[in-house]
Amino acid sequence: EGNDGVHISNLLKETGLVTLDSGFMNTASCESKITYIDGDAGILRYRGYPIEQLAEQSSFLEVAYLLIKGELPTATELSAFTERVERHTHLHDNFKALIGAFPQDAHPMAVLSSAVSALPGYYPESVDPFDENAVELATVLLLAKLPTIAAYAFRRSRGEEMIGPDQSLGYVPDFLRMSFANGGGYETDPELVKALNLLLILHADHEQNCSTSTVRIVGSAHANLYASVSAGIGALSGPLHGGANEAVLAMLNDIQSSDDDVDTFMTRVKNKEQGVRLMGFGHRVYKNYDPRAAIVKGVAHTVLEKLGKSDEQLEIAMRLEEIALSDEYFIQRKLYPNVDFYTGLIYKAMGFPTNMFTPLFAVGRAPGWIAQWREMMNDPTTKIGRPRQVYTGHAEREYVGVDAR
């Protein structure tokens, strides 16, 4: 009986009882075949494939296909999929004008979520959530347009003109070119392409995290894929979620520029001084080393070495990790580095400013949001997401006119 979730939820419905589970610590919102996490053992698999193998051997669009369609593509399927995505990377002129209307210092996450929610206005034929062809088109359009929009938002923030996509280059190299090319052209560095491809793969899905749950709950009202993903981008912007990589760099900057040494900072964290946290540490599900963080740490060293940057902030980050891994405060609470602890340092070394870190996360997470939304829409047992509450307000009371208050 205890293992029969359906039975228990029916029982609760019949008795009028509700469970109060703040932060959904113990509540599964759905069944899913996409991503498996064992937080105690530090295991992450997409569709059964270990993240380490995908990170080492796969490409971002191949992983996107795997997450969305459920199987690794054949060579023919992959080239057809890639070709279709790359064909749609250009932005409509009016759409460019829409992005161009944002103030230059607008946060790129605001631009990204607004631009995604505007897409159905330009592609009404891709909006119907129950039309298979429309969903397929929306899938391709989202994967295709997100890097172009993110790169454009980045260029605008530096007061530069947009550079259009070049489909011959490939997804990741072209994203780097659209972000960084100037009048003199841009040589993509294969080492950086490899690193960015890997980072995007590591971020591609992570089961029912805050933004993915948001995507699902918005979609459960039969909102279209764009509206659902745009809401997910909003959730991702929070510093406790996708904004954490930006917060890690801000923390490293503060430590570097203050008189505090690393040990003093850690004492402030452990004393919970004004809510100071070691950003990039801790995870709701991982109570062990986040397997993605282990991979990213290696990439941080490779990229910084390749770019010839001896980074004092990397030294500070490693020292913070070293202290935390042997400190009772962190051991007792099972706090380990999460994926975001080292990603910011890599993005920074690549030349991205901190406000681009979360947009990069969004480009990486798009396949996961799409796969989860599609799985939910195809599941006949899906119901509109509608949690209950435990009311703790006033009992009934009489209205008093404003003059008598």
| Under rule CB under 6 A, residue 340 binds ligand ACO | yes
Nearer to ligand ACO by Cβ, of 10 and 271: the residue is: 271
| Under rule CB under 6 A, residue 281 binds ligand ACO | yes
| Under rule CB under 6 A, residue 331 binds ligand ACO | no
Pairwise CA distance, residues 95 & 122, whole Å: 8
Phi-psi region of 131 (alpha: psi -120 to 50; beta: other; left: phi over 0): beta
Could you report how far apart the first and last alpha carbons of the chain are, in Å? 54
* Binding to ligand ACO, residues 354-373 (CB under 6 A): none
45 near 35, Cβ under 8 Å?
yes
**Residues carrying an active site annotation:** 283, 340
* Binding to ligand ACO, residues 236-255 (CB under 6 A): 240-242, 244
| Under rule CB under 6 A, residue 280 binds ligand ACO | yes
Least distance in Å: CB of 249 to ligand ACO? 12
CA dihedral 338, 342, 347, 353 (to 10 degrees): 90
| Under rule CB under 6 A, residue 333 binds ligand ACO | yes
Find, among 300, 311, 317, the residue nearest to 262 by Cα. Answer: 317
Work out which of 55, 279, 371, 376 binds ligand ACO, going by CB under 6 A: 279
Tokens representing 360?
Answer: 């990069």
Pairing label, strands 43-46, 35-38: antiparallel
Nearer to ligand ACO by Cβ, of 86 and 340: the residue is: 340
> DSSP characters for 339-361?
THHHHHHHHHHHT--GGGHHHHH
Tokens representing 55?
Answer: 């990170």
Least distance in Å: CB of 198 to ligand ACO? 16
Contacts of residue 364, defined as CB under 8 A and 6 or more positions apart, other chains included, come to 60, 199, 200, 201, 202, 203, 204
Site string for ligand ACO, 21-60 (x = CB under 6 A): --x-------------------------------------
| Under rule CB under 6 A, residue 269 binds ligand ACO | yes
| Under rule CB under 6 A, residue 338 binds ligand ACO | yes
| Under rule CB under 6 A, residue 174 binds ligand ACO | no
| Under rule CB under 6 A, residue 284 binds ligand ACO | yes
| Under rule CB under 6 A, residue 282 binds ligand ACO | yes
Nearer to ligand ACO by Cβ, of 54 and 141: the residue is: 54
Least distance in Å: CB of 339 to ligand ACO? 5
Pairwise CA distance, residues 294 & 338, whole Å: 9
Nearer to ligand ACO by Cβ, of 99 and 201: the residue is: 201
Least distance in Å: CB of 30 to ligand ACO? 19
Number of residues counted as binding ligand ACO (CB under 6 A): 19
Tokens representing 386?
Answer: 């509608």
| Under rule CB under 6 A, residue 283 binds ligand ACO | yes
Find, among 158, 190, 69, the residue nearest to 356 by Cα. Answer: 158
State the angle between helix axes of 340-350 and 357-377 in degrees (0 to 180), rounded to the nearest 10: 120
Contact positions vs ligand ACO (CB under 6 A)? 23, 240-242, 244, 269, 277-284, 333, 335, 338-340
